[in-house]
Chains A and B, each alone.
Chain A
Amino acid sequence: MKHTLSVLVENTPGALSRITGLFSGRAFNIESLNVAATLDPTLSHLTLVTTGDEFIIEQIIKQLRRLVDVFKVVDVSEGEFVEREMSLIKVRAEEESRAEILRMCDIFRCKVVDVSPKSYTLEVTGPESKLKAVIELLRPIGIKEITRTGAIAMIREKKTI
């Protein structure tokens, strides 16, 4: 089962490596990992997507909390939450496909952020399912390169972590 964890961690050198080391050392999975500063510059917000049965997820959360640098861990996928991921996709854009790509952009509300004679670079934002759909549709046209941010997530409504 897939879980999205929000982790608030002290913004100190080595903190991220403690977290990734914990996952590799204890054979837990990381599907994606995203880190950036929060409003409070002494804390970083880390969004981590992982998989495992309930016992493994319980261990992951407990082990994360046990790290001296970890301030807070929440399994946001336990309740209602919003999840977004961004991707930059460089797609082959020859004469015959340029119009079709733009049409697809329109449907999926992607942005063209760079144009060259033979390619478009698209910015796609959305839940993972949408990114997957866009990638699948662009694949036959010819994807030259792709980068993804990994998911970031937030609990819905008034709650904060």
Chain B
Amino acid sequence: MAKMTGKQMVVEALKREGVDVIFGFPGGAIIDLYDTLEKDGAIKHVLVRHEQGAAHAADGYARASGKVGVCIATSGPGATNTVTGIATANMDSVPIVVFTGQVPTALIGNDAFQEVDIVGITRPCTKHNYLVRDVKDLPQALKEAFYIARSGRPGPVLVDLPKDVQNARAEFDYPQEIKLRSYNPVIEPHGKQIERAYRLIEKAKRPVIYAGGGVIISDAYKELRALAKAMYIPVTMTLMGLGGFPGTHKLSLGMLGMHGTYCANMAMANSDLIIAVGARFDDRVTGKIEAFAPLAKIIHLDIDPTSIQKNVKVDVPIVGDCKRILKKLLDAVKDAGRPAEAWRDQHQAWLQQLDAWRKRHPLTYKKESGVIKPQYVIEKLYEMTKGRAIITTEVGQNQMWTAQFYKFDEPRTLLTSGGLGTMGYGFPAAIGAQMAFPDKLVVDVAGDGSIQMNIQEMATAMEQRLPVKIVILNNQFLGMVRQWQELFYDRRYAATEFEMTPDFVKLAEAYGAKGFRATKPEEVDDVLSKGLEAEGLVIMEFAIAREEGVFPMVPAGKATTEMLLV
């Protein structure tokens, strides 16, 4: 077998894993790998302007495509700059592999120039990580990294590559298959649990399916829809689950939780059976845990056993891949042979009740003349893109208005930092998504605060000629924190008002992109249509009602039935 250098092994492994694009930023400890990538020429490299952008772009690429995203950074500050991106991917179970350069093995631990213990730093926020000290271990580590990132509950894996290991030679024996004795995610559900689950479903009068990001990750969209339809069970989605069930379907209750719909939160509170699919009962969903779904039995489907019974007591846990479990449940429903009408009759009163709640407090906002309402901008964006765009968001009000007013019908069309809540995620993620789908419309919905957290990636998008469209909802506030201050801190706006905001139109122009601005409601449609139709990178800025809030809202620590409504 031919000998290869470590840097050649990395490039070869990338090819064998089907990686066609990587995001990164070079430096002294990774210059060798860069040299090999350049000589080889087969893998497209996107040069970002900050390593955080590289990690988010790899994440956006992964979420949009379902493939593993890859990014690369140098040692020390290059590596630490990726940490927020890694933690973001970890919280939302996104498969990315991060390669970092490291000082030569002989210098490790000596406080060498640009040295940091990145494996130690990222241990709690990666699914797994490696410091490869011997080039002989590299092929196995590379194979394991991709396998662990994409299998089971996916997540980020970091591989730290000392400079001398990149240049050392060894035989490249890349494993075709891999089996790890200590890592065996359960994919197939237990038959007994399926039976027990079915028996609960059979008896339920007020069931709700509570669908999370696991539905999208396991590609269980079709199965979920089939199951809901077969038994007339309504579906509510978490932020991460939006698009996992069509938002326009008549069984959809919309999003639940802190900024969820009245109907979805009432459904959970009054349900007698909650079927959680790839969701983890996070505090933004449950509100005050003691008051959460007091009447319901709970069936919980999840590939990660730690998600089950972490926050709430579960009656029937089913560990496995959501798609496989839903298929088996669907088979159980078919085998039982009850006619569709029987299911419909059983749930009719419940569905009528839900309709009444939906009508009583639909998602809405107060229309005012003379001032742009952010919700209107999102509604229009939805209309004009016919709901077919890939939407990324930043974090805060922009994220919640998007989740509420853009009706996501397809999986992998909303890319948002749900778990970690990372401001600055949306724009680089949009770059990653656009690299994965050059012909799709990719829109980042941002606030004036969060867009500035990774604004430097404008140059990346221009360099790559990526036609990402940025919608900035500008209220010159850090809006979500301001909203909390308004409601719970006697309107003391501590450090949330921007006295200075750049001219985003000129900023776009400075980067060679196009900029449009709307300051009046009647300009919104025009700016959106011009901006969406314009070629290349575009910023559309909307001067929105400054103190508009996101409603409904469940105050932190309150029961989800204690919603503040519009």
Contact = CB atoms under 8 A, between A and B. Distances in A.
Contact of A17 (B120, B308, B310): B120
A79 interface: no
B387 interface: no
Interface string A149-161: 0000000000000
B294 to A, nearest CB: 18
Nearest to A70: B182
B127 A14 contact: no
Contact of A68 (B131, B183, B309): B183
Contacts of A21: 123-124
Nearest to A42: B181
Given A10-B182, A13-B131, A66 B123 contact: no
B107 to A, nearest CB: 17
Interface string B355-384: 000000000000000000000000000000
Interface stretch (A56-64, A96-104, A122-130, A134-142): A56-64
B182 A59 contact: no
A92 to B, nearest CB: 41
Interface in A26-71: 55, 58-59, 62-63, 65-66, 68-71
Interface string B138-170: 000000000010000000000000000000000
B180 interface: yes
A18 interface: yes
Given A55-B309, A58-B309, A66 B181 contact: no
Contacts of B305: 62, 65-66
A117 interface: no
Provide the main secondary structure of the chain A interface: helix
Contact of B124 (A25, A59, A65): A25
A44 to B, nearest CB: 12
B558 interface: no
Contact of A14 (B123, B180, B182): B123
Contacts of A25: 124
Interface string A58-98: 11001101101111000000000000000000000000000
A160 to B, nearest CB: 16
Contact of A63 (B119, B180, B183, B306): B306
Interface in B399-449: none
Interface string B294-336: 0000000000111011100000000000000000000000000
B128 interface: yes
Contacts of A13: 131
B306 A18 contact: no
Contacts of A58: 309
Interface string B87-129: 0000000000000000000000000000000011001100110
Given A17-B123, A71-B181, A71-B182, A62 B306 contact: yes
Given A18-B123, A21-B124, A58-B309, A66 B182 contact: no
Interface in B167-207: 180-183
A80 B128 CA distance: 35
A63 B124 CA distance: 12
Contacts of B120: 14, 17
B127 A68 contact: yes
Contact of B182 (A55, A63, A69): A69
Contacts of A18: 123
Contacts of B304: 66
B130 to A, nearest CB: 9
Contacts of A70: 182
Contacts of A55: 309
A62 B127 CA distance: 15
A55 B314 CA distance: 11
A66 B131 CA distance: 20
Nearest to B182: A71
Given A68-B183, A70-B182, A59 B123 contact: no
A69 B306 CA distance: 16
A59 B306 contact: yes
Contacts of B124: 21-22, 25
Contacts of B309: 55, 58-59
Query: Which of A63, A66, A69 has the most chain B CB atoms closer than 10 A to its own CB?
Result: A66
A68 B306 CA distance: 14
A64 to B, nearest CB: 10
A66 B119 contact: no
A104 to B, nearest CB: 45
A70 B124 CA distance: 15
A10 to B, nearest CB: 6
A68 B310 contact: no
A10 B128 CA distance: 13
A105 B16 CA distance: 66
B180 A66 contact: no
Contacts of B182: 9-10, 68-71
Given A14-B131, A17-B120, A68-B180, 12 more contacts: A10-B182, A14-B119, A14-B120, A14-B123, A21-B123, A59-B306, A59-B309, A63-B306, A66-B304, A68-B182, A69-B182, A71-B181
29 contacts: A10-B182, A13-B131, A14-B119, A14-B123, A14-B131, A17-B120, A17-B123, A18-B123, A21-B123, A21-B124, A55-B309, A58-B309, A59-B309, A59-B310, A62-B305, A62-B306, A62-B308, A63-B306, A65-B305, A66-B304, A66-B306, A68-B127, A68-B128, A68-B180, A68-B182, A68-B183, A69-B182, A70-B182, A71-B182
Across the A-B interface, the 8 shortest Cβ-Cβ residue pairs: A71-B182, A68-B128, A62-B306, A68-B183, A62-B305, A25-B124, A63-B306, A66-B306
Interface of A: 9-10, 13-14, 17-18, 21-22, 25, 55, 58-59, 62-63, 65-66, 68-71
